[in-house]
Amino acid sequence: MENNESTESSTKKSSSSKKERVVVVSTVRTPFVKSFGVFEQETALSLSLRVASEVISKTGVQASDIDECIWGVVIPQTKNANLAREIVLFSGLPTTIAGFTLNKACNSSLQTAEIAADRILLGKNKLVLAGGVEVLSDVPIPFSDEARRFLTKMSRARSFKERLSLIGSVNPKWFLPKPPALAEPFTGLTMGEHAEIMTVKNNVSRARQDELAYKSHINAASAIEAGYLKDEIVPVWTGKDKNIFVDKDNMVRADTSIESMAKLKPVFDKRNGTITAANSSPLTDGAAVALLASESYVKEKKLPYLGYIVDTVTVAVDPNDQLLIGPAYAIPKILKRNNLTKDDIDIFEIHEAFAGQVLSCLDSMNNETFCREKLDSSLFGTIPPSKINIQGGAIAIGHPFGATGARLIGNALRILKRKGGKYAVVAVCAAGGMGMAMLLESK
Ligand SMILES: CC(=O)SCCNC(=O)CCNC(=O)[C@H](O)C(C)(C)COP(=O)(O)OP(=O)(O)OC[C@H]1O[C@@H](n2cnc3c(N)ncnc32)[C@H](O)[C@@H]1OP(=O)(O)O
């Protein structure tokens, strides 16, 4: 595979062997809400505490059986040194539970689950909290480098005269806050600009993007209406006085229409672009966790559970090419590794960073040249839309970067359970040109 380095987990499929298996006992997430809104009083820690304690009480596991807490967050607050360990300590869990925090961009909570799964298979752990969070309403807003240098010099100045001369050199512009950009550090372009590049390269029309976004909303709205999302969501009491009750995702638009979407102006390439507020995932606050265990632990404790993690893969490409194309590499790869074809998969959860990015991935897998040159394989072909994101995706539900992977694990396994399917594949693109796929099996 050209420009495609990969690492693979050791969680290889073993349905028929007697080896240990990794069980998803349950997952829990907060409602996903528009950033800078109803969760403005929340923090990465507060939402993480909510899901961590809920998944423990919901499943009835003994907190003292938890070996480790692994958490993902993409834009961490400077006040959280090691969020995962803080979740353990502030939620009153046994202080013997270790924790570490990682950042693998939008793959973060698939990565926490992969690490947890690998450690369970190695026999090191039996029960692990693997989650992630993003609260864009509460991100660090740093000052410019000039302001930092000035403040450091001021704090080290030895005399009033020295301080006065430093103050004389100040430019007020230095103190304009610099909110974090959703940009790829390697290229300097935003995620949206990279998605624009992909839609042009793959010739994805605005109409197709809007249609996918429309389906995301309609599918999510139907799933909510049917009560399918209730089991995965824990309500949050928020606001200054904790008197605001939030129990639903607040960005799903049951009343959206192709016509209203078509009226929106492009955001990232204002002149020629096709990506709008409607066909992009919105800025979102939320947290999610998957409680993972060894099958032997689950059997010993006679715990109900959702299903199994069978395997995971990570891929990476040159960010200058197609930054968010990871799923087009990761999906064929995980199926090949497990001797499965796309027809064996009942449900695909393909993260919707942007509608144009999902369509670029799907079109690439259905492109002979891409499959030959990039995947070194024959044509992968089309995935029927009836198998993809059937309860909506990030465009409608939202995308708190660190939490999306854990949401998708729970969503895919619950759909399998409800529909009686066997396998699901979750695939998520990520900044840095990375991507992950996870193969799940129902109970
Ligand atoms: C690996 C990865 O996942 S990479 C992806 C990482 N994520 C990102 O980069 C985030 C991308 N998204 C964004 O940056 C933002 O959501 C943006 C810039 C696209 C849009 O932000 P905002 O302008 O704040 O969106 P907002 O929700 O206000 O919508 C703008 C307008 O579109 C309208 N709109 C949005 N969605 C719809 C819809 N489905 N139907 C009809 N109208 C809509 C809104 O009503 C609003 O209209 P108004 O101005 O008349 O009120």
Q: Which atom of ligand 1 is nearest to 260's Cα?
A: 41
- If asked whether residues 89 and 154 sit together in one domain, one would say no
Q: Is residue 265, in this structure, part of any structural domain at all?
A: no
- If asked whether residues 345 and 397 sit together in one domain, one would say yes
Q: Is residue 73, in this structure, part of any structural domain at all?
A: yes
Q: Which atom of ligand 1 is nearest to 404's Cα?
A: 3
**263 CA distance to ligand 1 middle (Å):** 13
- If asked whether residues 129 and 153 sit together in one domain, one would say no
Q: Is residue 95, in this structure, part of any structural domain at all?
A: yes
- If asked whether residues 48 and 121 sit together in one domain, one would say yes
Q: What angle do CA 235, 411, 58 make, to 5 degrees?
A: 45
pLDDT of residue 410: 98
Positions marked catalytic: 106, 399, 429
Q: What is the domain range of residue 424? A: 18-139+281-442
**277 CA distance to ligand 1 middle (Å):** 3
Q: Is residue 367, in this structure, part of any structural domain at all?
A: yes
* Alpha carbons within 13 A on the beta-carbon side of 207: 0
Determine how β-strand 347-350 pairs with β-strand 423-430: parallel
* Ligand 1 contacts CB of residue 183 (under 6 A): no
In 81-182, which ranges are continuous DSSP H helix? 83-90, 108-121, 145-156, 160-168
Q: What angle do CA 44, 48, 63 make, to 5 degrees?
A: 150
Where is the domain boundary, 175, 190, 222?
175
Sign of CA dihedral 426, 429, 430, 436: positive
d(CA 13, CA 246): 39
**281 CA distance to ligand 1 middle (Å):** 7
* Ligand 1 contacts CB of residue 267 (under 6 A): yes
* Ligand 1 contacts CB of residue 192 (under 6 A): yes
Q: Which atom of ligand 1 is nearest to 213's Cα?
A: 39
Q: Which residues contact 215 (CB under 8 A, 6 or more apart)?
A: 385, 389, 392
Report the candidate in 415, 418, 436 with the shortest Cα–Cα distance to residue 426. 436
- If asked whether residues 171 and 294 sit together in one domain, one would say no
- If asked whether residues 161 and 59 sit together in one domain, one would say no
Q: Which atom of ligand 1 is nearest to 282's Cα?
A: 16
- If asked whether residues 97 and 155 sit together in one domain, one would say no
pLDDT of residue 178: 76
* Ligand 1 contacts CB of residue 324 (under 6 A): yes
In three-state form (DSSP H/G/I as H, E/B as E, the rest C), the secondary structure along 274-325 is CCCCCCECCEEEEEEEEEEEEHHHHHHHCCCCCEEEEEEEEEECCCCCCCCC
- If asked whether residues 434 and 292 sit together in one domain, one would say yes
Q: Is residue 219, in this structure, part of any structural domain at all?
A: no
Tell me how far CA of residue 278 lies from CA of 184, 321, 389, in angstroms.
Answer: 22, 25, 17
In 60-97, which ranges are continuous DSSP H helix? 83-90
pLDDT of residue 140: 84
Where is the domain boundary, 158, 175, 192?
175
pLDDT of residue 18: 67
Q: What is the CATH number of the domain that holds 401?
A: 3.40.47.10
- If asked whether residues 294 and 423 sit together in one domain, one would say yes
* Ligand 1 contacts CB of residue 403 (under 6 A): no
pLDDT of residue 176: 85
Q: Which atom of ligand 1 is nearest to 194's Cα?
A: 4
d(CA 412, CA 347): 7
For ligand 1, atom 23, the nearest C-alpha belongs to: 277
For ligand 1, atom 38, the nearest C-alpha belongs to: 278
* Ligand 1 contacts CB of residue 280 (under 6 A): yes
- If asked whether residues 65 and 163 sit together in one domain, one would say no
pLDDT of residue 3: 41
- If asked whether residues 170 and 288 sit together in one domain, one would say no
For ligand 1, atom 20, the nearest C-alpha belongs to: 277
For ligand 1, atom 2, the nearest C-alpha belongs to: 353
* Ligand 1 contacts CB of residue 261 (under 6 A): yes
- If asked whether residues 433 and 297 sit together in one domain, one would say yes
Structure tokens at 74: 């993409």
**Total structural domains within the chain:** 2
* Ligand 1 contacts CB of residue 256 (under 6 A): yes
Q: Is residue 261, in this structure, part of any structural domain at all?
A: no
Report the candidate in 318, 215, 268 with the shortest Cα–Cα distance to residue 5. 318
pLDDT in tens, the chain (443 residues): 334 444 454 444 444 456 899 999 999 999 999 999 999 999 999 999 999 999 999 999 999 999 999 999 999 988 999 999 999 999 999 999 999 999 999 999 999 999 999 999 999 999 999 999 999 999 888 888 899 899 999 999 999 999 999 999 999 899 887 777 789 999 999 999 999 999 999 999 999 999 999 999 999 999 999 999 999 999 999 999 999 999 999 999 999 999 999 999 999 999 999 999 999 999 999 999 999 999 999 999 999 999 999 999 999 999 999 999 999 999 999 999 999 999 999 999 999 999 999 999 999 999 999 999 999 999 999 999 999 999 999 999 999 999 999 999 999 999 999 999 999 999 999 999 999 999 999 99
